[in-house]
Amino acid sequence: MSTIETVGECDRALHRLLMVTLRREKLTADRDSEIAAIQQRFSTPIAETRIKTTVLEQQIQAYYEEHRKELEIEGKKSIQLSAGLLGMRAPTNPGLIPLSEKWTWDKIEAKLKEVWKNKYFHKPKPPDPDKVRIKKELTPEQLRQCGMRLDTDEKFYLELNRLAAADAPALDPEQQASAA
């Protein structure tokens, strides 16, 4: 990199900087314009596939929940199908949640203080409850007494078998059926 030694060289360098900056700004604007056009072109089909995905996931979940006893064989809480895995799972680290809508975190904190004083509050920064310690030390009955419970509710999940479809054309099943 050479140094600028005269006012004339400085003026020419400043002019080159102006031209390069204007070129970069034009390229950026052209790129952004093309990106916006692509986003516009794909926005409707992507939104349609989001809707279809949501509807299908809800239908699959409803079917699984309605036929859970038939599908969960030998105590296994999932079933492997050709296109994916369906099942129910409980959280590995359940969170504390209020027992009902009548229990707010303010009411829970007040009850914790009433029963255990500051034992289950972070030190030195009260008033936040130490939820890790509460989960570890309190029994389910003690949690209920203070308006809480562990969120151990099982949640539906599905995992698509993407490898099975890797070589298949990117058509939805309705299009594949009509193409066949």
pLDDT in tens, 91-140: 888 889 999 999 999 999 999 989 988 888 877 765 688 889 999 999 99
Name the domain boundary from 22, 38, 66: 66
Checking 98-102 for CB contacts under 8 A at 24+ apart, the result is 98/147, 98/148, 99/143, 99/144, 99/147, 99/148, 99/149, 100/147, 102/147
Give yes or no for residue 80 having a pLDDT over 80.
yes
In a domain, 12, yes or no: yes
Answer yes or no: do 159 and 128 share one domain: yes
For the ranges 46-50, 56-60, 123-127, which has the lowest average pLDDT? 123-127
CA distance linking residue 112 with residue 48, whole number of Å = 49
Answer yes or no: do 27 and 94 share one domain: no
CA distance linking residue 147 with residue 34, whole number of Å = 55
Answer yes or no: do 82 and 4 share one domain: no
The domain in which residue 11 lies consists of 1-66
Q: What is the DSSP secondary-structure string of 58-91?
A: HHHHHHHHHTHHHHSGGG-SEEEETTEEEEEE--
pLDDT at 31: 98
Mean predicted confidence (pLDDT) in 158-178: 69
